[in-house]
Structure formats: C-alpha cells, structure tokens
Amino acid sequence: MKKFLLMLMSLPLLMVACNKSSEPEKVLADHSLTLTSSDVVEFATEGGNGVIAFNYTPKEMASDDKVDVAPAAVLAIESLAEWITIDSEVPLMLGSISFEVARNEATEPREAVINASYQELSFSVTIKQGAASSSPEPEPEPMPSFEGWGIVGTMNNWGAAGAIVLEESGYFVAKGVELTASDKFKFIKDGDNAVNRGGNGLAAEVDYFYAAQQWGSDIHVSNDGTFDIYLNAKADTYYIMTQGKSPEEAVEPLAPGEDLYEVCGNFEGERVRLVAQKRFLVAKGVKFSTTPAEFTVCVNQNERVYGANRDATYAIEECIAVAEGGENKIVVDVKSDTMYDIYYRDDMSSLWVMPEGAAPMIWEEVTGVAFSSTNFAINLRGEGIELFFDFNCGVNAENYIIPEAVYYVNDDEDTGFNFNLENEYDLRIEGVKTKLKSGTMEIKHISGGYDITVDVESIHNHVVKVHYAGPIGEIEIMGRPITNPE
C-alpha cells in the first residue's frame, strides 16, 4: 500500500518534468533600426525645424509568438552642436525625431552630426547650414501692398514684393504655379516674413495634405510640375494639388515606415493610392481609360505586386480573390466614361470594383437552420447590418439543401416560395430593428455553399441590396442544420 502511495505522489513531478522538457526553445530573431529619411539635411542661414524619420522592427520569437518592444523603450539622441536643439531621447515606437536649427550668425557654413542609438543599433544624420552673408544687412524692403497670404521662395528670390498672392475662396489658393524639385518656398501673411508657415523638412508629395508649421522648414516638392497650391490658415494645413483637383481630394501622407498601396493599370493617372477605410483600403473615383479594366495592386512602387488568383473577367461588385505574386491581372467588365470605387480587403485576400458610392459587404457570420423539410431560416450578419429570414421553400427539400429559387417577402407572387410572414424575421441596421415590406431573396447553388442575393425594402424605406456567396453554418437553436451543396 505504501509503495502505491509513493507512486501516486511521484506522478505530478513526472508530469511537470515532461511538460518542461516539451516546451520549444524560443530563439530571438534579429531586430533592426532603419533611417527612412535622408542622412543629410541642409538648412539655410535662417535655420528652422526638421524631422528625422526612422523605423524600428522588434525582435521576434522563433515560434509564432512575438516579443514587442516595451512601450517605455527609448532611442538615445546625441548632438554636440549647441546650435541644434533636440531631445536627448524619444520613444522608440514614435518613429520620428524633431529638432530645431538656430540661425547661423557666422560667415562660415557649419555642420554637425546627430547620433541615435538603441542597444547595439544606431544611425547618424549630418546637419549642414549655410553661412551668414559677410556684407552688411540690406535695408528692409518696404511693406508690399497685398493683404492676406502669399508665397515667397526661390522662384521670386524670397522677396515679399514679388510674392505670389493667394486668393481667398474657402481656402487661400494660387493656381498654375510652376515648381521644380529644387525650388523652396514658404507662406507669409500680409507681406510680413515674420508671420510665416513652413513644412516638416521632407519633400511634399502631390495630392497629399501636410501641417503648415509656424517657422517650419522650407517647403519643396518631389517632382517638377505645375500645381494648384492651397493653404487652410485656420487648420494650418497646406496642399500641393494636381491642376484642377481640390483639397477635398487630398489624402493623408504616409507615416514613417508605412507601406504605400496603389492600384496600377489602364485608368487616368495610371496609379491611384489606396487609403485605409475601416476594413478596406479604398481608391475612389477611378475612371478607366479602356474597357475592360486591367490592373494590379502595387506596394511601395512594385516592391510587391498582387494579382488575381485565376485568369478570368469579373463583373462589377464581384468578389475577386487576389494573392501576392499572382501572374494574372485583375480584369473587370467596366463601362467607359464611368467612375468606380475600388475596395481592397485589409487582409490582402480579396478585392471589389464597385459603382461609385457603393461599398462591398464583408459577412462576419452566415448561419441557418431547417425547422422542417420546407421551412428554413437564414441569418446574415455583417458590419452595421443583420438580416434574419424565415421562409417556406414550397417543395420538400432533399437532404435539407435549400432549393434554388426566388423567395418573395409578400404573397403577391403565388409561387409557394415566400417568406413566412407569421414567424419572426427582421432587418437590423446599426442595431435598430425594422420589419420588411417588400423584396426578394434569390438562392443559387455553388460548390460547397450557396449564392444568395438579397434585394429588400423595410417599412421605414431602407433599401438593402446585399450579396453573399459561401457555406452556411448552423444556428444554435432547435432544428436540423442546413446542408451545403457539394
């Protein structure tokens, strides 16, 4: 008996030892710290503000577990130049370092190095500044006669007298301004250089919006061209737009280290940026130059390319499966001279070309139950919408597979395929319940599931048109589960 008790007592120790030995050894992969802006930043004699952008990739476990950098981890900053004002450390996950360069009063140019480090990782940025003039300061120019905001820069020798005056029309705007990538400028108010707005030290991309910073660095563009320049003085934002485009069409610039997603194909402009919107990346107002539409999704100027999983021509609003490295272009049967919105799912798995103003539905749950061989219920739930339908199929279903048919909300169509108006059914939009008044649901069979098209109207005049293609799960209530077709 004592021997048996000793054996029982030793079992937990044996299990602990087994569990300990079965744990996989976790090996940390290398982490990295990358400078994503220029390693040389130049300033004029007047100095100004600058931003250094970087990207930190934390260590990862050899297994699927990840080790994120602690929120309190900081990047150590060092600069021996008294004329550079900069914090000694910044949060590592911030992704940027702000600094200020004082005016150079000396007649010699100067430069200094900003060093940044975290553990064994580091990078350096060289700051260069022009010298002050050895000649006497010129007499100040007489105050120009314009009021409001204007642009001064290399294109007018920084002279307020030759400023490009901005017209006020909701925004302050100057249209048709010719700029080269080497031009630099600022916004000034009432001809006074002391009241000005500048940029963040990085090249401004066309059709984006940026913060207009007081005493910010000189603004410059990345490419030569002719642009419409807007300033929102209340919100302190500026916009360098393609001629004819409005600030409402501008998008937010990428954060340091953020990937640039674009659709690239046979439409006006050849490339359009996809912008994050809830569970999608979206390009709106796309007009294809030829039919059918042919395009791919490009990441970081073709660093990665996503194409269709199969060689086919798809319909408008059809869900298109895509994958990285797909050899097939995404081909869609579009109409000429028509605007479309392109929706790319944020998990990179699928894409839709939608009529302008319409959006696809991603179903979070599709479940069903058969109360009898002729009485079925289907529940479709997505973001902001839920539909629960109880209906009669009009014939005995075989193996609880819903027959292909058009099912009617009312009894005007005497087909035997109708909604069960005596039982519960409803439509919920943003959680608010409303009964149905009219409409149809068409059911077709596909491999492994159903193709369901719903076109209904509620008693509160909600018109709902949604589509789902895929298998149906089981509602956890009494009844038989619906069988998915082979």
**Residue 12 has what pLDDT?**
45
**Residue 9 has what pLDDT?**
44
* DSSP E strand stretches across 2-62: 32-35, 40-43, 48-57
Q: Ranked by mean pLDDT, which of 20-34, 63-77, 270-284 comes out on top? A: 270-284
Let me know the angle formed at the C-alpha of 23 by 20 and 25, rounded to the nearest 5 degrees. 120
Please tell me which residue, 14 or 140, carries the higher pLDDT value.
140
pLDDT at 82 > cutoff 80: yes
pLDDT at 405 > cutoff 90: yes
Select from 302, 218, 210, 163 the least CA-distant residue to 46.
218
**Residue 275 has what pLDDT?**
87
Interatomic CA distance for residues 236 and 195, integer angstroms:
13
pTM for the full predicted model: 0.51
Let me know the angle formed at the C-alpha of 437 by 431 and 440, rounded to the nearest 5 degrees. 95
The alpha carbon of 98 is separated from its chain's Cα centroid by a whole number of angstroms, namely 25
Encoded amino acid at 13, one letter: L
**CA Rg, the chain, in Å?**
32
* pLDDT tens digits, 359-373: 888 888 999 999 888
- What number is the average pLDDT over the span 191-208? 87
- β-pair partners for 271: 264
- β-pair partners for 378: 368, 389
Q: Give residue 35's pLDDT band: very low, low, confident or very high (50, 70, 90).
A: very high
Select from 403, 385, 378, 381 the least CA-distant residue to 393.
403
| Torsion, CA 271, CA 277, CA 279, CA 285, rounded to 10 | -50
Please tell me which residue, 357 or 25, carries the higher pLDDT value.
357
pLDDT at 118 > cutoff 80: yes
Question: SS3 of 19, please?
Answer: helix
Paired sense of beta strands 96-101 and 164-165, if any: unpaired
Interatomic CA distance for residues 389 and 249, integer angstroms:
41
CA separation, residue 9 to residues 2, 14, 179, 263, 317 (Å): 11, 10, 83, 66, 66
* pLDDT tens digits, 137-190: 566 555 555 789 999 999 988 888 889 999 998 899 999 999 999 999 999 999
Please tell me which residue, 11 or 486, carries the higher pLDDT value.
486
Interatomic CA distance for residues 330 and 339, integer angstroms:
17
**Residue 353 has what pLDDT?**
96
Q: Per-residue DSSP letters for 100-141?
A: EE----SSS-EEEEEEEEETTEEEEEEEEEPPPPSSPPPPPP
193, with CB counted inside 10 A (0-12, 13-18, 19+), is middle
Asked if 54 and 35 count as a contact pair (C-beta separation under 8 A), the reply is: yes
Interatomic CA distance for residues 392 and 400, integer angstroms:
13
* pLDDT tens digits, 310-362: 999 999 988 899 999 878 999 999 998 899 999 999 888 999 999 998 888 88
| Torsion, CA 233, CA 239, CA 245, CA 250, rounded to 10 | -110
Start-to-end Cα distance in the chain:
60
Q: Give residue 3's pLDDT band: very low, low, confident or very high (50, 70, 90).
A: very low
* 403: preceding bond cis by omega (within 30 degrees): no
Q: Do you know the residue count of the chain?
A: 486
Let me know the angle formed at the C-alpha of 298 by 293 and 301, rounded to the nearest 5 degrees. 130
